[in-house]
Amino acid sequence: MSDAIKTSSLSPEFRKEIFEEPGTEKITMCFNCTGCSSGCPMTELEPEFNIRKFLRMANLGMKDELLNNPYLWYCTTCYKCQERCPQGVPNVDALLKIRTIAVQNGVMLPAHKKVGQLVVKSGHAVPINDDTKEKRKALGLDEVPPTVHRFPDALSEVKKLLHIAGFDKIVAEEEEKK
């Protein structure tokens, strides 16, 4: 896309949806001081990641461009940007809302979808195998975390909740086209 914004791609409804998250209306207060992006550890590793740019896109209602930007998922939620913002803009909270909207619209990176599939299958994102048990033991932790791995009877309840929320459909493997 060129630097010029295509007005046909702007969505006031998308902007309103983001602002439903408490405090996210503060993104309109950003005056581009660069405090968020200059202190971001992810920006240092991946210059294409720019939370300030994402928030400007959200403020303009650039739904399609923003939701389909793979760098949207690079934030590690360290909250450094949010803590540094002189205007109190909830950068990370706004980004998490944008990610939620992306997932609700079926936009998710393949790796995240696979993690979601693990949660649907086993109730936990991290498989508990012998290697994981040994690592946990070396850290002074119980071999099995207090999740459905320790309480297997809870797995059916977790699956039920994931189904009610529609998460199982969001992360379902796509059927091969014949």
Rg (CA), the chain: 19
**Torsion sign (Cα): 5, 25, 78, 145:** negative
- Tens of pLDDT along the chain (178 residues) come to 444 445 557 888 999 999 888 888 899 999 989 999 888 999 989 989 999 999 999 999 999 999 999 999 999 999 999 999 999 999 999 999 999 999 888 898 888 899 999 999 999 888 789 999 999 999 999 999 888 888 989 999 999 999 999 989 989 887 544 4
Reduced DSSP (H G I as helix, E B as strand, rest coil) percent helix, strand, coil of the chain, to 5? 60, 0, 40
One-letter amino acid identity for 108?
M
**Identity of the residue numbered 5:** I
Residue positions counted in the chain: 178
- First-to-last alpha carbon distance for the chain, in angstroms, is 33
Q: Provide the CATH topology of domain 7-104.
A: Fumarate Reductase Iron-sulfur Protein; Chain B, domain 2 (1.10.1060)
Token pair of 41, please? 């550890």
Query: Considering the entire predicted model, what is its pTM?
Result: 0.73
pLDDT for position 175 = 55
The DSSP symbol for 86 reads T
Domain ranges within the chain, ordered by starting residue: 7-104, 110-170
Rounded Cα–Cα distance for residues 130 and 127 (Å) = 10
